[in-house]
Structure 1
Amino acid sequence: MTQLFALHSAYGLATAAAAIDAGLLGRDGGAERILVPFTSSRVPETAVGIAGDPVLGPLRARFDRVEPLEDVLGPLHPSSWEPAEADLPILERLLVRAWRLDPQGLELFVQSPQVAPARTLMALFPYARITIVGDGLMTYSPMRVRLPYAVAARIERVVHADVVPGVRPLVGSPRAEIVPVPPVAFAAALRETDAGESGTADDASSVLVLGQYLSALGLMTPAAEVDLQKQLIDRAARWAPQRIVFKPHPAAPPLMTAAVRDRAHVHGIDFVEYRGPLAAELLAERLDALAVVAGFSTALPTVHTLFGRAIGSAGNDRVLAALTPFENSNRIPVTLVDALTRDDAPYSDPARLQLLVDAVGYAMQPENAAHLRGRAEELLHDLDPVERDRYFAPRRLAELRLPGAPRERALNRALRPAGGVGRVEEWRLHALGARRRVGRAWRALRGR
């Protein structure tokens, strides 16, 4: 038996390591564990992947072997690895030989199952049992593509860091077993990545603000993101810290940092920029931060659940309204952080928050998450209109004929398709049929 872990993020690697430590993954007969790391960055040459990051060395030590995927793919980007179906058996034999595998006794652990290379590996090893390893808040989003039945039927488990306790992720098959990694085990794995750097701790009371660089993802304009960063500083100022420590996104331009620095000075608060390797969760611990503030970063629920830090956010209502299309995969992470950080949010009960996640998940992917329609109707039936409009676009509700949809105009109702055929086309076919029947009757009367 071999357990093959195809992972690309430090968060996913820490999740897998913590699950191993907690005894959640089993190791029947002393199964070998192989880490197959790869870099998902658009420009892999500019990023430090999990295969080479020195601070992740203790986590990589959980595995018996490390076989970087790039050593096999060469110059081909992992996200572009989509071979023809006819080539899969050949590639399977090649990888079985290169990685010394038993294809009949293989358990495959993957992140981001909707896209290559995870999707390719799941199809390439047709007898492997499949476990999805969570990658932060994206794990709570429904599958955005329909996987072939031969693949979906083999997804047995979803292993995820339990950073939103009581809420079940939607990724994977509805029949998959959900395996939450205890916060204590996950926190211990994260602490192993602390490189022990100095110069980040003193007695000044601090709030940690995290940048995400959303304009690079096309979620907003650079000017709108600068405005959002200022709102985050305003939110951080509510804790009255002596200092704001800003950890920018590695790819963000200096303009972003300049904007938040100026805003901090407007509040009379000292400002420090941090560009070191320490993860946000560990940096908050090192600073003994009063709070952590960000847009919709996975670090927010993580640092709150694992270390008990206060969290805050800003601007998520604007992000939710701007996300297009409605099924944008960021919608669930934004929804979760918004519901967890809003003042007087009505989602403190995990069951209520689960209902919101299920309803938004169904509205995003009504075909892949068809089993959640009843949950969506349950939430929307009595939901306050302001809450409804915050998380659900009226047009989407109308398309899916869900409670709370705007009243349909008479013309639209008349033209709405029925039974898969547009109403105008239905009337035309009725008229054509009636004309033919009249023609046949007339010919019968004339004896033809």
Structure 2
Amino acid sequence: MTRIFALHSAYGLATVAAAIDEGLLEPRPGRVSRGGAGGDRVLVPFVSARVPELVTGIAADPALAALRTRFDRIEDLDALLGPLHPSGWEPEAGDLPLLERLFTRAWNLDADDLELFVQSPQVAPARTLMSLFPRAKITIVGDGLMTYSPMRVPLDHAVRSRIIRVLHADVVPGVAPLAGGPVAASVPVPVAAFGRVLDETDLGEPLLDTAGHPLDDGAPTAIVLGQYLSALGLLTPREEIALQRELIDRAAVAGPARIIFKPHPAAPPLQTDAVRERALSHGVEFAVYRGPLAAEQLARRVDARAVVAAFSTALPTVQALRGTTIASAGASMLLRRLRPYENSNRVPLAIVDALTREDSPYVDPARLQLLVDAVGYAMQPEIAGHLRERAELLLRDLTTGERERYFAPERLRDLRLPGAPAESAARRMLRSAGGTGRMEELRLTAIGARRRAGRAWRVIRGR
């Protein structure tokens, strides 16, 4: 069997590498690859960034060289599609059989003995590849907390029926992701194995801030991660600066001698200046790190006392890996701001909020799973329709304040879920009934009555 791993992120690549090391991808008869009897492993890397020329992809990143050795060969999707961007690769359905033959020949595949591993299955190129190889079994590879959200678009039955599992780093222990549900099996990668793979990405280069000063000198340190939420339209630039300052305040609670700020690569310098002033006001040293290390590895190298962010996947990851204290700010406000309600960031936000709240009622993984299931259903009631009973179970048990923290009242009303606000008479008149609005239903009923009366009158008059 040939296994194709179409991946675009270091996180996804590390997840697969750890799964291979742990033997979670069942062995196949035939040739022995690095990591065991795994058939022919083909890494198909691509760059999903809007401007690929400004990004070092997983095929070329020197920090990922050790991870790439888990595969027997590499077939660069960017090189094959260029100059077409992978995210724009959406061929016509009639072209797929021809493309299947061309790709099968180019990559030396047996299309009848194939397994496909993809990230972000809702969009190209993953969605295209799943349709391109119509007989391949499919595994979804998790890419952080977004994997815990339900699918945001429905997949064709011919594709959906071939999704057999969701492979994900177990950074929220005891909680299963909703992607691929309800039939796909959840395959958690042990966090210890995932951590060992992440350690391989640290090349041991000097850890320096932007001024050239060493950061791994043993000083008590907290880390603040920037996410550039204003670029997503979630906050205004002014609001984001205020949020970054609040994150600094949360980091200062850990009592560090130094706060390291790891800004989003695209964030403007104004944000960094604002958080520097806030850190200095707490009387702590401030440093900016723009190096290649992922947040998880940065936290390990400096032995961070705390890691603080809005809702970064790094938060539950560092907590699961090392027991590091984590904190967030603005999560409840961002949950209210997200539009539309179906926004896939909603579940990551809810998870981080639940994990970092004081006296959180979601410490028990089973309770957190119930929250994830309920929010997932409210987001995608058709795709995640199997979770309605779970949503009702949670909502019947929540206080008003707790319910409003995670669920918009109008959403509860539209889905007729427990805790929904009372419906006004005008809204009842306008509410859909069997696909037709109530006002329209009454209008059609009146028209029908008039027509029946007219026919009866004509019969009486002998016409």
What is the alpha-carbon distance in structure 1 between the residues aligned to residue 218 and residue 173 of structure 2? 32
What is the alpha-carbon distance in structure 2 between the residues aligned to residue 287 and residue 305 of structure 1? 17
Question: Which residue is 1:87 aligned to?
Answer: 95
Q: Secondary structure at the match of 1:245?
A: strand
Question: Which residue is 2:193 aligned to?
Answer: 185
Question: Which residue is 2:309 aligned to?
Answer: 294
In the TM superposition, what is the alpha-carbon distance from 1:279 to its structure 2 partner? 1.1
Letter in 2 for 1:157: R
Specify which of 210, 220, 236 is matched with residue 221 of structure 1: 236
1:152–1:173 contact (8 Å) kept in structure 2: no
Specify which of 122, 145, 159 is matched with residue 167 of structure 2: 159
Question: Which residue is 1:73 aligned to?
Answer: 81
What is the alpha-carbon distance in structure 1 between the residues aligned to residue 456 and residue 232 of structure 2? 65
Please state if 1:34 is matched with 2:49: no
2:181–2:384 contact (8 Å) kept in structure 1: no
Please tell me the root mean square deviation across aligned C-alpha atoms, in Å: 0.8
Question: Which residue is 1:394 aligned to?
Answer: 409
Please state if 1:122 is matched with 2:136: no
Q: Secondary structure at the match of 2:432?
A: coil
What is the alpha-carbon distance in structure 2 between the residues aligned to residue 443 and residue 74 of structure 1? 73
Specify which of 199, 204, 223 is matched with residue 196 of structure 1: 204
Specify which of 324, 340, 356 is matched with residue 371 of structure 2: 356
In the TM superposition, what is the alpha-carbon distance from 1:414 to its structure 2 partner? 2.2
1:211–1:294 contact (8 Å) kept in structure 2: yes
In the TM superposition, what is the alpha-carbon distance from 1:415 to its structure 2 partner? 2.3
In the TM superposition, what is the alpha-carbon distance from 1:121 to its structure 2 partner? 0.1
In the TM superposition, what is the alpha-carbon distance from 1:253 to its structure 2 partner? 1.1
Q: Which one is further off, 213-222 or 180-189? A: 213-222
Letter in 2 for 1:301: P
In the TM superposition, what is the alpha-carbon distance from 1:405 to its structure 2 partner? 1.0
Please state if 1:17 is matched with 2:17: yes
What is the alpha-carbon distance in structure 1 between the residues aligned to residue 240 and residue 162 of structure 2? 41
Question: Which residue is 1:2 aligned to?
Answer: 2
What is the alpha-carbon distance in structure 2 between the residues aligned to residue 431 and residue 247 of structure 1? 66
What is the alpha-carbon distance in structure 2 between the residues aligned to residue 203 and residue 151 of structure 1? 51
What is the alpha-carbon distance in structure 1 between the residues aligned to residue 250 and residue 185 of structure 2? 38
Letter in 1 for 2:321: L
In the TM superposition, what is the alpha-carbon distance from 1:421 to its structure 2 partner? 1.1
Letter in 1 for 2:15: T
Q: Which structure 2 residues correspond to residues 230-309 of structure 1 after superposition, within 5 A? A: 230-309=245-324
What is the alpha-carbon distance in structure 2 between the residues aligned to residue 424 and residue 278 of structure 1? 60
Q: Which structure 2 residues correspond to residues 359-370 of structure 1 after superposition, within 5 A? A: 359-370=374-385
In the TM superposition, what is the alpha-carbon distance from 1:173 to its structure 2 partner? 3.3
Structure 1: unaligned runs, 5 residues or longer? none
1:340–1:348 contact (8 Å) kept in structure 2: yes
In the TM superposition, what is the alpha-carbon distance from 1:26 to its structure 2 partner? 2.1
TM-score between both structures, scaled by the size of structure 2? 0.96
What is the alpha-carbon distance in structure 2 between the residues aligned to residue 280 and residue 101 of structure 1? 37
Q: 1:176-227 CA distances to partner (integer Å, 9 max, x unpaired)? A: 1110000111011000001102233112100011111111112211111111
TM-score between both structures, scaled by the size of structure 1? 0.99
Q: Secondary structure at the match of 2:427?
A: helix
Letter in 2 for 1:330: N
Q: Secondary structure at the match of 1:103?
A: coil
Question: Which residue is 2:332 aligned to?
Answer: 317
Q: Which structure 2 residues correspond to residues 31-70 of structure 1 after superposition, within 5 A? A: 31-70=39-78
Q: Secondary structure at the match of 1:104?
A: coil
In the TM superposition, what is the alpha-carbon distance from 1:386 to its structure 2 partner? 0.7
In the TM superposition, what is the alpha-carbon distance from 1:447 to its structure 2 partner? 1.9
2:169–2:189 contact (8 Å) kept in structure 1: yes
Q: 1:251-280 CA distances to partner (integer Å, 9 max, x unpaired)? A: 111111111100001111110111111111
What is the alpha-carbon distance in structure 1 between the residues aligned to residue 449 and residue 239 of structure 2? 59
Letter in 1 for 2:384: A
Q: Which structure 2 residues correspond to residues 367-386 of structure 1 after superposition, within 5 A? A: 367-386=382-401
What is the alpha-carbon distance in structure 2 between the residues aligned to residue 436 and residue 70 of structure 1? 65
What is the alpha-carbon distance in structure 1 between the residues aligned to residue 249 and residue 215 of structure 2? 23
In the TM superposition, what is the alpha-carbon distance from 1:230 to its structure 2 partner? 0.3
Specify which of 333, 336, 341 is matched with residue 351 of structure 2: 336
1:81–1:116 contact (8 Å) kept in structure 2: yes
1:163–1:183 contact (8 Å) kept in structure 2: yes
Letter in 1 for 2:16: A
Q: Which one is further off, 8-17 or 195-204? A: 195-204
Corresponding pairs, count: 448
What is the alpha-carbon distance in structure 2 between the residues aligned to residue 93 and residue 188 of structure 1? 39
Q: 1:18-65 CA distances to partner (integer Å, 9 max, x unpaired)? A: 000000012302310000000011100001110100000000010000
Q: Which one is further off, 1-10 or 193-202? A: 193-202
Q: 1:136-166 CA distances to partner (integer Å, 9 max, x unpaired)? A: 0000000011100000000001000000001
Question: Which residue is 1:144 aligned to?
Answer: 152
Runs (4+) of structure 1 exceeding 2 A deviation are none
What is the alpha-carbon distance in structure 2 between the residues aligned to residue 154 and residue 377 of structure 1? 30
Percent of matched pairs sharing the same residue: 68
